[in-house]
Amino acid sequence: MHELNATSHARPGVAEAVSRGLSARAAVVALRLARLLESTCDRETAEDLVGFLRSWAEAAAEEAQPYAADAEPVHRLASRLSLTGPELDLLLLAGLPEEHEGLARIFRTMHPRGDSHPSVGLAALLLGEGPHREATAGPAVDRVALRALLHEGVAVRSGALAVTGEGTFHDRSLRLADQLWEALHGCAAWPGALTEVEAGPPVAGLESWLARPAARRAVAALRSTAPRTVIVTAHDETVALSRCAALARAAGLRPVAGRTRPEYPSGLGLLGLHAAARGGVPVLVAPRPEEGAGPTLLDLRRVVGPILVCAEPGAVRPGPERAVLTVPVGPIDTEDRRAAWRAALPDAAGRAPELAARHPLDPALTAQVALDVHSSAELAPDGEPTDVSAAIRTRAGAVLPPGVDLLSPSAPWGRLVLAEESDRQLRDAVSRLAYQSLVLDDWRLRESARADRGVRLLFSGAPGTGKSLAAEVLATAAGTDLLVVDVSRVVSKWIGETEKNLSAAFDAAERMQAVLFLDEADALFGTRTEISEANDRFANLETAYLLQRLDRFDGLAVLATNLRQNIDAAFVRRMDFVVTFDLPGEPDRHRLWRLHLPAAVRDEDVDLAALAHRYPVPGGWIRNAAIAAAFRAAEAGGRVGQRQLIDAMRREYAKANRPFPAESAAPPGAVADERALRALGAATTGSTREERS
């Protein structure tokens, strides 16, 4: 046999004392193995093997360094699993081939099937009676007891130790769980069957949540050794994982998180073992269930002690063999949200109340947004402000569902031409967002008056009267994005599909803190019908679902309709503002012509007052006509003239199938015909798409 180098070397990044300590423990077993070979093998066969075993073991023992026993991963694992002395010996024996290639070669020589791992027969000899045993080695284990340990012992039931291979029982091999030996060395090793998940650093703003009874019970469960399951559910995985980590740290434990299938006992067992070696508590991050699948049964038979589970609501189903505790993720009170913003952005601590009111994120998401804000500040030129809303939009990274478009509007109030009362309601809606923390939390109207968070608006009016533009103005004033939902693409004939699409739209708006705009939503929140067939029942369910999501939505939601009289009364009761978009009067039409057609592009013959008087139309028609006339003028090589504007307006009337007014109308300044306005409003409600004014 070739001479083997038995010198061990320290590796960078590994806590030397812990790693060398494990090698020293394994060296004790190696010396017992050397004495066994001396007593059972002929001298010629055993000489080289025994010489290497002694050389390696003595070197490992000499290099051992003092350290606290409770910091030793193998001590943590043995304590968590309540391993007996013989079981710990079996673990150390199974790990010896991982210590040195020379040791692996020795085991290959001794194995009846040439495996580089120790056989069950070798373990029976090593743990049994014989001259190789020292007085300190503990009681001997006969073959009957060994068989029981390797079938029913906790080391095998937990998956830490496995009997593998074919052939008779004693010809099989002893192997450790994947990467467990490296973890016992203190290395950041991770099994291939698991996806490691970073729990992230502690976040501020969860103090009140941790003080709630459910959270306190969960912390007590994690501190015990009893097999309990603590489940935290949330639609956002980041939130659920952050809460699991907070519970673990409150119990004085490190969260060790991994992703695997809940019904995969081997994967869950590996997670528990690696968590124990790291002195932590296992945190299962359950993957999102497949479409249409029900909850998955948690198979935790290989997990010893407590485990944390974070999953989507309805994704997992606990089994009957373990006690279960569930911990709700909310609500987070205002003071905790402010604390989260103060900790996340200490340079802007004075703005914490404003940020908490404007961006009522979960503390876990606040910490992520702050990370992006700090990064942007480092990369931005001096003095350039960092945009929290932009960071929220970037971090959300939501894949928008079909029928939902994300806009970053920049429409100022001056672009909107409305009646005074309608304009006042829109400004009041934005003001509610800014002051809801003061009114609801500091003044406690949330408790005394049962006031809800969020703002809900209903826009009612004919197409082209400015409903879409008003939604953009609101988003601009709120300093956030606009999520526009095309209801015609969201509503589905398939049962349950509409609710799923609506849920995705609301989830995206909540994550991005965007204004949610359901345009032309009559199909969703029209008056509920008597149930005469199955489709009526499911249509009513869709309406009920939308009502529930509106009640829970903390942001600004805008629902638009062309036909106010068709709206279910339940929706109207839930609206904070019902804004009517009337057809503009003559003075407002004059303003709209000036707004859409600057003086620099108008020819001298253009009479905006005459156009405003002659054509009692919505603002969308004025906008369309101004754009069409401008292109005609550009083609002709001049500025926009009166004739081009009249021709463009004639086309707008033709599109709506309305008779074009005679050009010999009353002079400017005369009162518009209100009957014509009403007739026009009635006709334009049949339009399928609203034009923005």
What are the pLDDT digits (tens) for 519-554? Answer: 877 767 654 444 444 444 434 556 777 888 888 888
Residue 691 has pLDDT above 90, yes or no: no
Nearest to 118 by CA among 182, 190, 187, 29: 29
Q: Report the C-alpha gap between 389 and 624 in whole angstroms.
A: 32
Question: 331 preceded by cis ω (within 30°)?
Answer: yes
Is the pLDDT at 242 greater than 80? The verdict is yes
Phi and psi at residue 231, to the nearest 5°:
-110, 130
Within 311-361, where are the H helices?
A: 334-344, 352-358
CB 82 within 8 A of CB 59: no
Average pLDDT, the chain: 84
The pLDDT value recorded for residue 1 is 35
What is the token pair recorded at 605? 């013959």
Measured CA to CA, the distance from residue 549 to residue 554 in angstroms comes to 10
d(CA 486, CA 82): 59
- Residue 169 has phi, psi (to 5 degrees) of -55, -45
Q: Are 524 and 491 a contacting pair, CB within 8 Å?
A: yes
Section 554-565 average pLDDT: 84
Task: Indicate the burial class of 131 (C-beta count within 10 angstroms; 0-12, 13-18, 19 or more).
Answer: exposed
Give the pLDDT mean for 436-465: 83
What residue has token string 């007085």?
Answer: 135
Q: Where is average pLDDT lowest: 37-46, 50-59, 303-312?
A: 37-46
Mean local confidence (pLDDT), 460-480: 90
Q: Where do runs of H (alpha helix) occur along 111-252?
A: 120-127, 143-152, 154-157, 180-184, 207-210, 213-223, 237-250
- What's the Cα-to-Cα distance from 272 to each of 280, 507, 520, 642, rounded to whole Å? 9, 32, 52, 80
Task: With a cut of 60, say whether residue 676 has pLDDT above it.
Answer: no
Q: Is the pLDDT of residue 312 over 50?
A: yes
* pLDDT > 70? residue 516: yes
Q: Is the pLDDT reported for residue 235 higher than 90?
A: no
Least confident window among 277-286, 387-396, 636-645: 387-396
Is the pLDDT assigned to residue 265 strictly greater than 70? yes
Tell me, what DSSP letter sits at residue 602? B
pLDDT value, residue 538: 39
At 553, list the tokens: 């939505």
CA distances from residue 203 to 219, 283, 329, 344, 625 in whole angstroms, order as listed: 17, 17, 14, 8, 55
pLDDT mean over 365-377: 86
Indicate the angle between helix axes 73-81 and 265-277, nearest 10 degrees.
Answer: 130
Q: Which of 40-44, 344-348, 547-551 has the lowest mean pLDDT?
A: 40-44
- Distance in angstroms (rounded) separating the CA atoms of residues 30 and 33: 5
Residue 295, number of CB atoms within 10 A of its CB: 16
Residue 116 burial by Cβ neighbours in a 10 Å radius (0-12, 13-18, 19+): middle
pLDDT of residue 274: 97
pLDDT band, very low/low/confident/very high, at 689 (cuts 50, 70, 90): very low
Q: Does residue 607 surpass a pLDDT of 60?
A: yes
- Is the pTM of the predicted complex or chain greater than 0.85? no
Between 670 and 569, residue with greater pLDDT:
569
Question: What pLDDT is stored for residue 669 in this prediction?
Answer: 39
Please report the pLDDT score of residue 542 as a whole number: 66
Tens of pLDDT along 398-433?
567 778 888 888 899 988 999 899 999 999 998 888
Q: In the prediction, which pLDDT does 489 show? A: 78
Q: Answer whether 558's CB lies under 8 Å from 457's CB.
A: yes
Angstrom distances, CA of residue 677 to CA of 218, 232, 617, 666: 65, 58, 7, 16
83-97, 135-149, 356-370: range with highest mean pLDDT: 83-97
Written as six digits, the tokens of 209 are 């949540």
Instruction: Flag whether pLDDT at 679 surpasses 90.
Output: no
How far apart are alpha carbons 601 and 351 in whole angstroms? 45
d(CA 44, CA 288) in angstroms, rounded, equals: 61
pLDDT at 282 over 80: yes
pLDDT for the residue 8: 38
Is the distance from CB of 580 to CB of 553 less than 8 angstroms?
A: no
The residue with tokens 């008003």 is: 470
How far apart, in Å, are the Cα atoms of 113 and each of 34, 125, 645? 21, 17, 95
Q: Is the pLDDT of residue 9 over 50?
A: no
pLDDT tops 50 at residue 592: yes
Is 421 in contact with 504 (CB distance < 8 Å)? no
Q: Residues 451-468: what's their mean pLDDT?
A: 88
Find the radius of gyration of the CA atoms of the chain.
36
What percent of the chain is predicted at pLDDT more than 70?
A: 86
- C-alpha 501 chain-centroid distance: 18
pLDDT, one tens digit per residue, over 635-666 is 999 999 999 999 999 999 999 899 998 764 44
Average pLDDT over residues 478-482: 86
DSSP strand pairing (323-326 vs 228-233) = parallel
Mean of the pLDDT values across residues 71-96? 94
CA atoms within 13 A on the CB side of 637: 0
Q: What is the pLDDT of residue 534?
A: 40
Per-residue CA distances from 329 to 31, 214, 234, 249, 314 (Å): 54, 10, 7, 16, 15
Question: Which has more confidence, 444 or 176?
Answer: 176
Greatest mean pLDDT range, 168-172, 387-391, 487-491, 677-681: 168-172
Interval 162-169 mean pLDDT: 94
Cα–Cα dist 618/652, whole Å: 11
Residue 6 has pLDDT above 70, yes or no: no
| Residue 384 pLDDT level (bands cut at 50, 70, 90) | low
At residue 306, the pLDDT reads: 97
Which is more confident, 155 or 681?
A: 155
pLDDT of residue 67: 72
Q: Which has the higher per-residue pLDDT, 589 or 520? A: 589
Q: Give the tokens for residue 327.
A: 């911990």
| Confidence at residue 674, expressed as pLDDT on a 0 to 100 scale | 39
- For residue 525, what pLDDT is reported? 62
693: pLDDT strictly greater than 50? no
> Which tokens hold the place of 86?
């013989």
pLDDT confidence of 512, banded at 50, 70, 90?
A: confident
Strands 316-317 and 296-297: parallel
User: Taking every pair of C-alpha atoms in the chain, what is the biggest distance, in angstroms?
Assistant: 126
